[in-house]
């Protein structure tokens, strides 16, 4: 019987950074089979409706989860409806989201997005995106002011259950190290690349597992390759000597 590595297609094989070794990227089903038991059932992070998810995601840019949730909570307490946010004095609005950081940039951005939603949709209800073909739904969201692939992906995947990949800094780093995307692929480009490779029913799990793996094992500066369940399939593994801690990574 052939080994799992022998089953890889030629297209998926690349020279390893380690001289003399040839790597394909790990098959997605194998990736999920290994990471699933480690990280448990994948769940969406929030039960928000699509507009709330969109606004939350804007607030979450360049800040921690805890600060994002605080900013979203104070926003909703201060301005209970989206009309209230849209009509708010921008300084008051910025004050209400101050804990999320970059409030003077995010406050007018929220109003621009809400204005565009109302102008284009005549409603705050974005549930129609659930029925739209995925590329069209993505385009609809990407045409909103300041909305990029990650924000659009959060709305589609978390709130609407669509198979849209969400690539944050952890997903991007781990996907590059595992050769799932090219070394030069940007995070924005990685959304489409990973969506093509990962079966729709596995998108949420892959997103959750790659984030967890990036936070807990495949860390930015010092990946713990010696403790990594993917080590034998990873072209970026940097195990050195007897140390369980890998040397400083470059990608």
How far apart are CB 250 and ligand SF4 at their closest, in Å?
Answer: 11
How far apart are CB 191 and ligand SF4 at their closest, in Å?
Answer: 20
The residues binding ligand SF4 (CB under 6 A) are: 174, 177-178, 217-218, 223-225, 228, 230-231, 234, 236-237, 246
The DSSP H or E segment spanning 214 is: helix 203-216
How far apart are CB 153 and ligand SF4 at their closest, in Å?
Answer: 22
Smaller CB distance to ligand SF4: residue 87 or 216? 216
Taking CA atoms, 22 is separated from 8, 15, 32, 110, 251, in Å, by: 11, 5, 22, 48, 19
How far apart are CB 44 and ligand SF4 at their closest, in Å?
Answer: 24
Smaller CB distance to ligand SF4: residue 112 or 168? 168
Number of alpha carbons in the 13 Å side-chain half-sphere of residue 184: 0
Instruction: State both tokens at 51.
Output: 């507009």
Which residues belong to the active site? 150
Instruction: Give the list of residues 6+ apart from residue 17 with CB closer than 8 angstroms, or none.
Output: 235, 236
Smaller CB distance to ligand SF4: residue 116 or 224? 224
Smaller CB distance to ligand SF4: residue 1 or 19? 19
Dihedral, CA of residue 120, residue 125, residue 129 and residue 131, to nearest 10? -120
Region of 6 please: left (phi>0), alpha (psi -120 to 50) or beta. Answer: alpha
């Amino acid at each position: 019987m052939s080994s799992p590595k022998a089953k890889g297609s030629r297209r998926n094989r690349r020279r390893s950074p380690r001289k003399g070794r040839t790597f394909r990227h790990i098959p997605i089903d194998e990736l999920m089979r290994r990471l699933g038991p480690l990280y448990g059932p994948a769940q969406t992070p929030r039960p928000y409706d699509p507009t709330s998810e969109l606004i939350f995601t804007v607030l979450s840019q360049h800040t921690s989860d805890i600060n994002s949730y605080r900013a979203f909570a104070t926003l909703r307490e201060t301005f209970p409806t989206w009309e209230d946010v849209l009509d708010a004095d921008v300084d008051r609005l910025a004050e209400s989201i101050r804990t999320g950081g970059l409030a003077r940039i995010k406050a007018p951005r929220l109003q621009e997005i809400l204005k565009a939603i109302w102008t284009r949709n005549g409603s705050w209800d974005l549930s129609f995106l659930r029925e739209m073909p995925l590329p069209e739904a993505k385009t609809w969201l990407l045409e909103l002011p300041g909305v990029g692939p990650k924000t659009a992906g959060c709305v589609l995947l978390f709130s609407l259950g669509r198979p849209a990949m969400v690539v944050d800094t952890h997903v991007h780093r781990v996907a590059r190290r595992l050769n799932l995307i090219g070394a030069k692929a940007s995070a924005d480009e990685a959304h489409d690349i990973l969506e093509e490779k990962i079966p729709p029913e596995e998108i949420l799990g892959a997103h959750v597992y790659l984030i967890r793996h990036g936070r807990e094992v495949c860390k930015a500066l010092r990946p713990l390759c010696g403790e990594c369940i993917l080590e034998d399939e990873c072209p970026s593994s940097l195990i050195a000597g007897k140390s369980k801690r890998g040397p400083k990574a470059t990608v």
